[in-house]
Amino acid sequence: MKYIFTGLLAFVFCMTHGQEKKSEVKPNYQLAAKFSPEKLRKMIFSTEVKPNYINYSDKFWYEYATSSGKNWYIVDPSLRKKSPLFENGEMAAKVTSIVRNPFDAQHLPIQNLRFLDNSDQIIRFEVQSTKDTVKSKEEIQKLTNKKDTLKKKLFHFEYNIVSKQLKEISDTTKEKTKPNWANFNPDTSRVYFAKNYNIYWMDYKNYQKALKDEKDSTIVEHQITKDGVQFYAWGGDQYSTTTGDRKSILEEEKKRKPVRLSWSPDGKYFVITRKDNRDLSSLWVIHNVDKKRPELETYKYQMPGEIDSTETELYIFDRANHQPRKVNIAAFKNQTLSLWNKDFSKENLKGKHYINYWLGNNQEFYLARSSRDLKRIDVVAVSVDGSTRVMVEERMNVYQDIQKPKLIAGGKQFIHWSQRDGWGHFYLYDISGKLIHQITKGEFHCNDLSAYQESTGTLFFQANGKEKNIDPYYNFLYSVNKNGGAIKLLTPGDYDHQLEGNELGNYFIDNFSRVNTIPQSNLYSSTGQLIMKLEEADLSQLFASGYKFPEPFKVKAGDGITDIYGVMYKPFDFDSTKTYPLIEYVYPGPQTEAVNKSFGRSMDRIDRLAQMGFVVISVGNRGGHPARSKWYHTYGYGNLRDYGLEDKKVAAEQLANKHSFIDINRVGITGHSGGGFMSTAAMLVYPDFFKVAVSGAGNHENNIYNRWWSERHHGVKEEVSDKGDTTFTYNIAKNTELAKNLKGKLLIATGDVDNNVHPANSIRMVDALIKANKRFDFLLLPGQAHAFGNMTEYFFWKMADYFSEHLLGESKMNEVDITEINKERPLTR
């Protein structure tokens, strides 16, 4: 008995002593630095096949890079044949002999490769040389320093892939790029554009002059409208943004700009919308660092709940006399009109020119009309005589989504997408608006209608959640007949499938992976038959660096019922005998969730943070993604501040219960934009749970974020008085209201020219924290807009420092230089 007792004491001592001796995790700057974006570019090459279809056929070519260099291939699906476009070594020798710069098979700097129109044998491309040549007259005219007349010559080539003949061609044979302002009518005799906020046109002869010289004084233009002004324009102020002094603004107004008009198939009419935004309030950011004199950027920006006194106007123009007909389209106060255009196809091209056709026929076109609260959406047919008829009505007590219908059967029927039964599904209607039947049905969500085969009546569509016991976010391709029947799975396998196809719908490319598999690309027929395996990504350099795949997981949401899905990222030097702080990388949605489903390059943000010595997770939350049920998607409707926080908390708790290496007493949280908002909210709603947050560009006060997102996802209340007057009210909880709750460490960051989530969001949060007598940290990134641009890397290391200091107890915050960045950049004088 004595020996048993002594042994038990020894066991207990060893266990407790072992726990006491668990080595502390130290911040590993060196390991994190190994996976910077610059280094990842040299370890990750192509991960998907992006087809370039040859003259609208099923044949396609693509380029694919590995650690051995880049290769170019041509694929003929009907022959099940994949061939190199050329032999790299042979091409390198041919190019070298002309350019006089040495190249080899692994280093071919081919640019802008494309097939010649109406040929499947002739390709053209360019190669940059180091040879000096004189700039063109047009280039010199644009120069500030007229003496800077030299440039490096760009060689232009033409190559026959059958005869293997390469020849240099003049750059004058290079196709002229269509200017973005040119909108062709269907017979391409005229080009329409905007200038000084009005609609103009020129004939094709003058358009050719403009191609040679935009400022040619002999160009003849014809003005159509005369009353267009800034913020009440017919075109040319799509972004309603002005910068600089009055002189530069006036110069900008004189330039030709795009005009968003759509044509009837016969070219007799075009349609356009117009809205008077002159009374809408402006917003401003100041560009402090990129000009000698700080410059003001002004733009119209409507905030949620604000009064909108004007309505979108709809006009049909007769091409013969350019007289407009205003259409009475009113149904809802502050409604949104969505004009639909015909899908891209070969029929849209007249020669080399793309025609923007309306969705419809010569007599009518189709659009969506949505109420401001998006609870009412109509699909409307508009006749060229200005009369209208409602084809489909969608009504719901929460906001709705809408997709463009697909016209089939010679325009006699259309396929309509709706969430009316709580899931996204397809419905068949006749063109009068009579429902024929529901095509797809069940507890799954249909996404894109990828293609339709008129000859067989087959729909090809992408969907989530249909395959049982598989992550419901994984995307799959299916087919079904428009008349209903069995739905056929075309992309089997427990992966996320990203599809690439063409308008013909005979074949498609499946780029598939998970976060923990190597990306692959296969070619399939429309029946789901495997035609050939195309590529498998080369991750050899990445694995050689010590990379390890993250781990998908599934836990329960705060209700104990709903499954939520996430991914866990561990340090590559992970030691299960140690305990690690947990950091959540968050984005609340509701338009998406920041949870990777396929292999990608986000490791420079999430994987790399884990290498500092953290377990990092990203996990979904109720209300966070549209690709599940409508219930799931709209869970946060009316509570846009707090709806996702409980799920983030309970997910961390469940993982800590399962894994002893997670220290639930050291939990951090970070995110950008909506994630910046959410990470700060988490610190204030659960201040005893979340200990550290780094919040980037957060919309902390959603009452000053843009109307469209805020009203859509939170809701806006429409009130009609006894007199019939309609008003809108908007109330939402804000982070600033909870500033007094802060207990942990918080770093708030914003760019000073963020014209999406205005810096006022962060500054008001700072103001509230100061008034609450809280200590916190604030980082202003000069000259940066919403994404932080060229200061993204700086921000990462500031975040790494912050979490290391406050979760690991050690960092380089006291060092002046961020050596991890300096080592990446060559020293310059």
pLDDT at 445 over 90: yes
> Quick check: bond before 179 cis, omega within 30?
no
Q: Quote the pLDDT of residue 828.
A: 63
Q: Give the three-class secondary structure for 554.
A: strand
Q: Grade residue 2 by pLDDT with cuts at 50, 70 and 90.
A: very low
**pLDDT tens digits for range 126-174:** 999 999 998 877 777 766 666 788 899 999 999 999 999 999 999 876 6
The answer as to whether 551 is a domain residue is: no
Record the tokens describing residue 273, joined without a space.
């919308």
What pLDDT does residue 536 have?
98
- List pLDDT tens digits, range 550-589: 999 999 999 999 999 999 999 999 999 999 999 999 999 8
145-to-150, 247, 424, 640, 810 alpha-carbon distances in Å: 12, 21, 58, 53, 52
Rounded CA gap, 823 and 607, in Å?
20
- Please count the other Cβ atoms lying within 10 Å of the Cβ belonging to residue 198: 19
Strands 580-585 and 615-619: parallel
Alpha helices by DSSP H, listed for 580-663, are: 607-610, 630-633, 645-658
Residue 373's domain is classified under what CATH number? Answer: 2.140.10.30
Question: What is the biggest distance separating any 2 CA atoms in the chain, rounded to whole angstroms?
Answer: 111
Can you give the pLDDT at residue 137?
A: 74
Helix (H, G, I), strand (E, B) or coil at 354: strand
Q: 234-248, 438-452, 805-819 — which is least confidently predicted?
A: 234-248
> How far is Cα 196 from Cα 254, in angstroms, rounded to an integer?
6
Q: Is residue 544 part of a domain?
A: no
Same-domain status, 379 and 429: no
Which of 173, 195, 213 is the C-terminal boundary of a domain? Answer: 173
Pairwise pLDDT comparison (252 vs 437), residue with the higher score: 437
Domain co-membership, 803 together with 660: yes
Asked if residue 436 and residue 532 are part of one domain, the reply reads yes
Both 388 and 467 in one domain: the answer is no
Distance (Å, whole) CA 88 – CA 522: 24
Q: Calculate mean pLDDT across residues 118-133.
A: 94
Angle at the Cα of 94 from the Cα atoms of 90 and 100, rounded to 5 degrees: 135
The CATH number assigned to the domain holding 33 equals 3.40.50.1820
Q: Name the 3-class secondary structure at 13.
A: helix
Give the pLDDT confidence of 181-230 residue by residue, as tens digits: 999 999 999 999 999 999 999 999 999 999 988 999 999 999 999 999 99
Q: What is the pLDDT of residue 144?
A: 65
Tell me the per-residue pLDDT of 625-644, one tens digit each, with 9 for 90 and over: 888 999 999 999 999 889 99
Report yes or no on 5 lying in a domain: no
Quick check: pTM over 0.85?
yes
How much of the chain, in percent, has pLDDT values that exceed 90? 85
Are 115 and 77 part of one and the same domain?
A: yes
The pLDDT of residue 11 is: 42
Three-state secondary-structure class, residue 151 = strand
**Same domain for 33 and 92?**
no
Domain count, the chain: 4
CA gap 90, 100 in Å, rounded = 15
Rounded to whole angstroms, what are the CA distances from 654 to 556, 619, 792, 820? 8, 12, 32, 35
Q: Rg of the chain over CA atoms, in angstroms?
A: 30
The answer to whether residue 41 scores a pLDDT higher than 60 is yes
241 in Cβ contact with 283 (< 8 Å): no
Amino acid at 670: T
The pLDDT score that the predictor gives to residue 241 is 75
Residues 357 and 467 in one domain: no
Q: What is d(CA 275, CA 238) in angstroms, rounded to the nearest whole number?
A: 11
Residue 13: pLDDT over 50: no
d(CA 667, CA 720): 47
Tell me which residue of 542, 666, 659, 656 sits closest to 613, measured CA to CA: 666
- As a whole number of angstroms, the distance between CA 380 and CA 369 comes to 7
Tokens of 733: 């909880």
Residue 291 in domain: no
Q: Is 6 part of a structural domain of the chain?
A: no
Domain that holds residue 762: 29-41+567-822
CA pair distance 511, 513, nearest whole angstrom: 7
3-state SS, residue 790: helix
Q: Give domain status of residue 12, yes or no.
A: no
Give all strands (DSSP E) within 752-793, no chain letters.
777-781
Does residue 703 sit in the same domain as residue 770?
yes
- The domain boundary residue, chosen from 368, 402, 436: 402
CA distance 573 to 322: 70
Does 658 lie in the same domain as 792? yes
Q: Is 49 exposed, middle or buried (0-12, 13-18, 19+ CB in 10 A)?
A: buried
Asked if 394 and 527 sit in the same domain, the reply is: no
513-539 average pLDDT score: 97
Beta-bridge partner residues of 165: 160
Give the whole-angstrom CA distance, residue 191 versus residue 214: 14
Q: What is the CATH number of the domain that holds 463?
A: 2.120.10.30
- pLDDT tens for 680-737 read 999 999 999 999 999 999 999 999 999 999 999 999 999 999 888 899 999 999 999 9
CB 622 within 8 A of CB 564: yes
For tokens 């915050």, the residue is: 813
**421 and 394 assigned to the same domain:** no
Count Cβ atoms below 10 Å from residue 100 Cβ, excluding itself: 11
User: Is 671 within the bounds of a domain?
Assistant: yes
State how far the Cα of 563 lies from the Cα of 41, in Å rounded to an integer. Answer: 35
- Per-residue pLDDT tens over the stretch 237-253: 866 777 767 777 778 88
**DSSP line for 240-295:** -EEES-HHHHHHHHTS-B----EE-TTSSEEEEEE---TTSPEEEEEE-SSSSS-E
**Domain shared by 498 and 444, yes or no:** yes
Task: With a cut of 90, say whether residue 349 has pLDDT above it.
Answer: no
Maximum average pLDDT range among 232-246, 334-348, 788-802: 788-802
Residue 666: inside a domain:
yes
Report the pLDDT value the prediction gives residue 174, as an integer from 0 to 100: 65
Q: At what angle do helices 674-685 and 645-658 cross, to 10 degrees?
A: 70
